[in-house]
């Protein structure tokens, strides 16, 4: 962290006096917070936060007495307006010449518009700004569902974006859709309005997988081990009737294996093995000697 007294160094780097470091708390209360993130919180001149639980907020205030919450949705205002207010609050403190640490839930760069906006604006104004990674809900999903993205790849989209942009995807690779309860919603979460959007999402997915394909409605465990992760295994056709909240994620397992391109394997000098199912899979550990 650059201290206010290091004026010569700042002048050499052409930096303004304030700085911004953005960290993530991870998903499970304070247990996912890294030692590096904790150190930045403790040393900051000012701490601002946007968190999902009061326990972590209380803990932050014990680490640094300057900690205060960022502005959140009031009177059902648009999320974009809330994000703009958060960004401006962060930059206001940095412009005072303070070393600011902004703390966000999960990974600070995932579904956190104010983070990206604040860092870009800080850089434009000549301030030092950085983001430290945190454990995301996707990391928890990989662990809880036993998903290895290195095996069949992994596709990840925000649910509304997935629909309105007609995203291309491969059904033989796992598909993750975020914020399924917020499809088409630019404001507050309204559970009474989610059935129709989920029905539309289901209709689109059924054209690729069929209604009987098993999918998983997933929620990471925040209060682990007191509470376990939510893992609802259901047929795709039952998605509109499932129990979904604003933090629910949809995981769709792959439908079969992608075919092997024998010509490409030959060009790469690779061999293949036939599995018990009859499927051909590249033997990653065997290369034909040339």
Catalytic residues: 79, 83, 105
Which tokens is 283 given? 């033997």
Residue in 200, 197, 239, 199 with CA at minimum distance from that of residue 217: 239
Torsion of CA 271, 274, 279, 280, to 10 degrees: 10
* 8 Å CB contact between 155 and 178: no
Helices (H) and strands (E) in the chain, counts: 10, 12
- Tallying the residues shown for the chain, one arrives at 290
* 8 Å CB contact between 240 and 180: no
Angle, helices 54-63/35-43, rounded to nearest 10 degrees? 60
Residue in 44, 132, 39 with CA at minimum distance from that of residue 96: 44
Residue identified by tokens 């069929």 is: 210
* 8 Å CB contact between 269 and 262: no
* 8 Å CB contact between 183 and 198: yes
Residues 6+ apart with CB under 8 A from 112: 50, 104, 106
């Amino acid at each position: 962290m650059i201290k206010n007294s290091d004026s010569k160094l700042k002048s050499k780097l052409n930096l303004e006096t304030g700085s911004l470091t953005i960290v993530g708390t991870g998903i499970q209360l304070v247990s996912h917070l890294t030692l590096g993130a904790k150190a930045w919180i403790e040393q900051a001149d000012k701490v601002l936060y946007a968190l999902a639980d009061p326990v972590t907020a209380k803990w932050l205030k014990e680490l640094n007495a300057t900690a205060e919450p960022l502005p959140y949705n009031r009177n059902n205002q648009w999320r974009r307006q809330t994000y703009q207010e958060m960004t401006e609050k962060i930059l206001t403190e940095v412009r005072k010449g303070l070393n600011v640490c902004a703390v966000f839930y999960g990974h600070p760069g995932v579904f956190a518009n104010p983070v990206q906006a604040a860092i870009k604006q800080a850089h434009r104004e000549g301030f030092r700004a950085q983001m430290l990674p945190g454990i995301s809900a996707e990391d928890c999903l990989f662990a809880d569902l036993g998903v290895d993205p290195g095996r069949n790849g992994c596709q990840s989209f925000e649910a509304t974006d997935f629909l309105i942009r007609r995203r291309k995807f491969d059904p033989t690779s796992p598909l993750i859709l975020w914020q399924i309860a917020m499809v088409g919603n630019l404001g507050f979460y309204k559970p009474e309005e989610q059935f129709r959007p989920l029905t539309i999402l289901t209709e689109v997915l059924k054209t690729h997988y069929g209604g009987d394909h098993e999918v998983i409605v997933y929620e990471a465990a925040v209060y682990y081990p007191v509470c376990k992760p939510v893992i609802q295994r259901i047929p795709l056709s039952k998605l509109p009737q499932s129990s979904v909240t604003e933090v629910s994620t949809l995981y769709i397992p792959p439908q079969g294996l992608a075919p092997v391109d024998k010509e490409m394997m030959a060009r790469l000098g690779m061999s293949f093995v036939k599995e018990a199912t009859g499927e051909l899979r590249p033997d990653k550990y065997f290369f034909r000697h040339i």
